[in-house]
Amino acid sequence: MAGSTNGPSAASFDLDGQLSNNDANSETSSVAASEDSSVVEAPAHKPPRIILNVRDLRRRLGQRREEPIEVTLATQKVIGSWTDDYPVTGQVVIESIERGITMFGAVTFRWRGECRRCLEETGGEQQIEIAEIFQVRSPEDSEVSDFDGDQIDLVPVVCDAVALSLPLAPLCRNDCAGPDPDRYPAMTIQQSEEAKEVERAKQGPDPRWAALSDLNLTEGD
Protein backbone atom coordinates (compact mmCIF):
# COMPACT_ATOMS: atom_id res chain seq x y z
CA MET A 1 0.00 0.00 0.00
CA ALA A 2 1.19 3.43 -0.83
CA GLY A 3 -0.15 4.66 2.49
CA SER A 4 2.29 2.48 4.37
CA THR A 5 5.16 4.88 3.71
CA ASN A 6 4.10 7.37 6.28
CA GLY A 7 5.87 10.61 6.79
CA PRO A 8 8.56 10.59 9.47
CA SER A 9 6.58 12.76 11.86
CA ALA A 10 6.30 11.79 15.51
CA ALA A 11 2.52 11.86 15.24
CA SER A 12 2.46 9.17 12.57
CA PHE A 13 4.69 6.87 14.61
CA ASP A 14 2.42 7.25 17.61
CA LEU A 15 -0.66 6.46 15.58
CA ASP A 16 1.00 3.49 13.90
CA GLY A 17 2.03 2.13 17.23
CA GLN A 18 -1.46 2.40 18.65
CA LEU A 19 -3.34 1.13 15.64
CA SER A 20 -0.97 -1.35 14.01
CA ASN A 21 -3.15 -4.39 14.82
CA ASN A 22 -6.23 -2.95 13.23
CA ASP A 23 -6.38 -2.93 9.43
CA ALA A 24 -9.74 -1.22 9.29
CA ASN A 25 -8.37 1.72 11.20
CA SER A 26 -4.95 1.87 9.62
CA GLU A 27 -6.20 3.87 6.64
CA THR A 28 -7.86 6.49 8.76
CA SER A 29 -4.77 6.55 10.87
CA SER A 30 -2.55 7.33 7.91
CA VAL A 31 -4.93 10.09 6.83
CA ALA A 32 -4.92 11.50 10.30
CA ALA A 33 -1.16 11.26 10.39
CA SER A 34 -0.68 13.16 7.17
CA GLU A 35 -3.13 15.84 8.26
CA ASP A 36 -1.31 16.06 11.54
CA SER A 37 2.07 16.38 9.96
CA SER A 38 0.92 19.16 7.66
CA VAL A 39 -0.29 21.10 10.67
CA VAL A 40 2.64 20.35 12.93
CA GLU A 41 5.07 20.79 10.07
CA ALA A 42 6.62 24.12 10.80
CA PRO A 43 9.87 22.34 10.15
CA ALA A 44 13.45 23.42 9.81
CA HIS A 45 12.71 27.11 9.63
CA LYS A 46 14.16 28.53 6.45
CA PRO A 47 16.04 31.75 7.07
CA PRO A 48 14.10 34.63 5.56
CA ARG A 49 15.37 36.25 2.40
CA ILE A 50 14.41 39.23 0.31
CA ILE A 51 15.90 38.35 -3.04
CA LEU A 52 15.70 41.04 -5.68
CA ASN A 53 16.58 40.25 -9.26
CA VAL A 54 18.62 43.14 -10.54
CA ARG A 55 19.96 41.82 -13.82
CA ASP A 56 17.49 43.86 -15.92
CA LEU A 57 18.06 46.96 -13.86
CA ARG A 58 21.80 46.71 -14.41
CA ARG A 59 21.46 46.89 -18.20
CA ARG A 60 21.46 50.69 -17.93
CA LEU A 61 23.31 52.86 -15.40
CA GLY A 62 21.10 55.08 -13.29
CA GLN A 63 18.01 52.97 -13.82
CA ARG A 64 15.82 52.86 -10.72
CA ARG A 65 13.10 50.68 -9.31
CA GLU A 66 10.96 50.73 -6.17
CA GLU A 67 10.58 47.56 -4.18
CA PRO A 68 8.24 46.82 -1.27
CA ILE A 69 9.73 45.14 1.78
CA GLU A 70 7.87 42.67 3.94
CA VAL A 71 9.79 40.09 5.91
CA THR A 72 9.52 38.32 9.24
CA LEU A 73 13.01 38.24 10.66
CA ALA A 74 14.51 35.83 13.12
CA THR A 75 14.32 37.48 16.53
CA GLN A 76 16.90 40.22 16.99
CA LYS A 77 17.80 40.92 20.60
CA VAL A 78 19.79 43.46 22.57
CA ILE A 79 20.06 44.09 26.30
CA GLY A 80 16.75 45.86 26.83
CA SER A 81 14.58 44.79 23.94
CA TRP A 82 13.94 42.38 21.12
CA THR A 83 11.99 42.28 17.88
CA ASP A 84 8.38 41.26 17.70
CA ASP A 85 7.20 38.44 15.36
CA TYR A 86 5.35 41.06 13.36
CA PRO A 87 6.77 41.50 9.83
CA VAL A 88 9.16 44.29 9.04
CA THR A 89 7.64 46.37 6.26
CA GLY A 90 8.75 49.27 4.14
CA GLN A 91 9.85 50.44 0.76
CA VAL A 92 13.23 50.83 -0.87
CA VAL A 93 14.58 52.21 -4.12
CA ILE A 94 17.30 50.30 -5.92
CA GLU A 95 19.43 51.94 -8.57
CA SER A 96 21.99 50.65 -11.01
CA ILE A 97 25.50 52.02 -10.56
CA GLU A 98 28.80 51.04 -12.03
CA ARG A 99 29.63 47.47 -10.95
CA GLY A 100 26.63 47.31 -8.71
CA ILE A 101 23.45 48.52 -7.07
CA THR A 102 22.65 51.12 -4.46
CA MET A 103 19.68 50.63 -2.21
CA PHE A 104 18.03 53.09 0.15
CA GLY A 105 14.67 53.32 1.85
CA ALA A 106 12.90 52.94 5.14
CA VAL A 107 11.41 50.06 7.08
CA THR A 108 9.19 49.86 10.13
CA PHE A 109 9.56 47.21 12.79
CA ARG A 110 7.92 46.44 16.12
CA TRP A 111 9.82 45.67 19.25
CA ARG A 112 9.12 44.52 22.77
CA GLY A 113 11.21 45.01 25.84
CA GLU A 114 11.41 45.62 29.53
CA CYS A 115 10.92 49.10 30.96
CA ARG A 116 14.19 50.05 32.59
CA ARG A 117 12.40 51.60 35.57
CA CYS A 118 9.38 49.47 36.44
CA LEU A 119 10.50 46.29 34.59
CA GLU A 120 7.02 45.87 33.07
CA GLU A 121 6.90 44.66 29.50
CA THR A 122 6.68 47.44 26.98
CA GLY A 123 7.07 47.85 23.25
CA GLY A 124 6.72 50.09 20.28
CA GLU A 125 7.06 50.64 16.61
CA GLN A 126 10.00 52.29 14.95
CA GLN A 127 10.78 53.47 11.46
CA ILE A 128 14.40 53.44 10.37
CA GLU A 129 16.29 54.32 7.24
CA ILE A 130 18.33 51.67 5.51
CA ALA A 131 20.94 52.04 2.80
CA GLU A 132 23.51 49.76 1.22
CA ILE A 133 25.81 49.46 -1.76
CA PHE A 134 26.15 46.09 -3.46
CA GLN A 135 29.14 45.58 -5.67
CA VAL A 136 30.26 42.69 -7.82
CA ARG A 137 33.49 41.19 -6.48
CA SER A 138 33.81 43.77 -3.74
CA PRO A 139 37.01 43.37 -1.74
CA GLU A 140 36.48 41.44 1.47
CA ASP A 141 37.46 44.29 3.76
CA SER A 142 35.31 46.89 2.00
CA GLU A 143 32.24 48.60 3.41
CA VAL A 144 30.01 47.43 0.58
CA SER A 145 28.18 44.13 0.18
CA ASP A 146 29.38 41.61 -2.33
CA PHE A 147 26.88 40.11 -4.78
CA ASP A 148 26.89 37.95 -7.90
CA GLY A 149 25.70 40.65 -10.29
CA ASP A 150 22.20 39.22 -10.70
CA GLN A 151 20.56 39.07 -7.28
CA ILE A 152 20.78 40.94 -4.02
CA ASP A 153 19.46 39.79 -0.65
CA LEU A 154 18.23 42.61 1.57
CA VAL A 155 17.69 40.54 4.70
CA PRO A 156 21.20 40.98 6.16
CA VAL A 157 20.93 44.74 5.68
CA VAL A 158 17.49 44.90 7.28
CA CYS A 159 18.58 42.63 10.14
CA ASP A 160 21.64 44.73 10.96
CA ALA A 161 19.72 48.00 10.78
CA VAL A 162 16.93 46.70 13.02
CA ALA A 163 19.34 45.20 15.57
CA LEU A 164 21.24 48.48 15.77
CA SER A 165 18.03 50.45 16.30
CA LEU A 166 16.54 48.39 19.12
CA PRO A 167 16.27 50.49 22.26
CA LEU A 168 18.85 49.52 24.89
CA ALA A 169 17.01 51.06 27.83
CA PRO A 170 13.35 51.46 26.96
CA LEU A 171 10.67 53.13 29.06
CA CYS A 172 7.06 51.95 29.20
CA ARG A 173 5.96 55.55 29.11
CA ASN A 174 7.71 58.83 29.59
CA ASP A 175 6.31 59.56 33.01
CA CYS A 176 7.46 56.21 34.29
CA ALA A 177 10.74 58.08 34.59
CA GLY A 178 9.20 59.97 37.47
CA PRO A 179 7.94 63.54 37.45
CA ASP A 180 11.37 64.99 38.12
CA PRO A 181 13.43 65.17 34.91
CA ASP A 182 16.43 66.49 36.85
CA ARG A 183 16.63 63.25 38.74
CA TYR A 184 15.55 60.92 35.93
CA PRO A 185 16.45 62.45 32.58
CA ALA A 186 16.61 60.32 29.47
CA MET A 187 20.12 58.92 29.49
CA THR A 188 22.37 56.13 28.41
CA ILE A 189 22.73 52.99 30.47
CA GLN A 190 26.05 54.16 31.88
CA GLN A 191 24.74 57.59 32.81
CA SER A 192 21.74 55.98 34.40
CA GLU A 193 23.98 53.72 36.51
CA GLU A 194 26.01 56.73 37.60
CA ALA A 195 22.83 58.60 38.52
CA LYS A 196 21.69 55.63 40.57
CA GLU A 197 25.02 55.66 42.41
CA VAL A 198 24.58 59.34 43.24
CA GLU A 199 21.06 58.65 44.42
CA ARG A 200 22.22 55.78 46.62
CA ALA A 201 24.96 57.91 48.13
CA LYS A 202 22.41 60.59 48.99
CA GLN A 203 20.07 58.13 50.61
CA GLY A 204 22.77 56.45 52.61
CA PRO A 205 23.28 52.70 52.67
CA ASP A 206 20.40 50.47 51.76
CA PRO A 207 18.94 49.17 55.05
CA ARG A 208 18.87 45.69 53.56
CA TRP A 209 22.67 45.73 53.53
CA ALA A 210 23.01 47.12 57.05
CA ALA A 211 23.85 43.68 58.41
CA LEU A 212 26.70 43.43 55.92
CA SER A 213 28.29 46.68 56.99
CA ASP A 214 28.16 45.45 60.58
CA LEU A 215 30.44 42.63 59.50
CA ASN A 216 33.12 45.20 58.70
CA LEU A 217 34.70 43.15 55.93
CA THR A 218 36.92 45.91 54.62
CA GLU A 219 40.03 46.15 56.68
CA GLY A 220 42.07 49.31 56.93
CA ASP A 221 39.32 51.69 55.81
Q: Which residues bind Zn ion (CB under 5 A)?
A: 115, 117-118, 172, 176
**Shortest Å distance, C-beta 80 to Zn ion:** 12
Q: How many CA atoms lie within 13 A of 77 on its CB side?
A: 4
**Shortest Å distance, C-beta 202 to Zn ion:** 22
**Shortest Å distance, C-beta 84 to Zn ion:** 18
Comparing CB distances to Zn ion, the nearer of 80 and 100 is 80
What's the rounded Cα separation, in Å, for the pair 167 and 173? 13
Comparing CB distances to Zn ion, the nearer of 155 and 187 is 187
CA neighbor of 165 nearest in space, from 58, 90, 216 = 90
Comparing CB distances to Zn ion, the nearer of 125 and 148 is 125
Q: Which residue is nearest to Zn ion, using beta carbons?
A: 115
**Shortest Å distance, C-beta 128 to Zn ion:** 23
Q: What phi and psi values does residue 68 have, to the nearest 5 degrees?
A: -75, 150
**Shortest Å distance, C-beta 85 to Zn ion:** 23
Q: At what angle do helices 23-40 and 10-19 cross, to 10 degrees?
A: 170
What's the rounded Cα separation, in Å, for the pair 128 and 69? 13
Comparing CB distances to Zn ion, the nearer of 96 and 122 is 122
- Residue partners of 205: CB distance under 8 A and separation at least 6: 213
Comparing CB distances to Zn ion, the nearer of 39 and 186 is 186
**Shortest Å distance, C-beta 118 to Zn ion:** 3
What's the rounded Cα separation, in Å, for the pair 36 and 52? 35
What's the rounded Cα separation, in Å, for the pair 105 and 42? 32
Comparing CB distances to Zn ion, the nearer of 52 and 115 is 115
CA neighbor of 89 nearest in space, from 65, 75, 110, 74 = 110
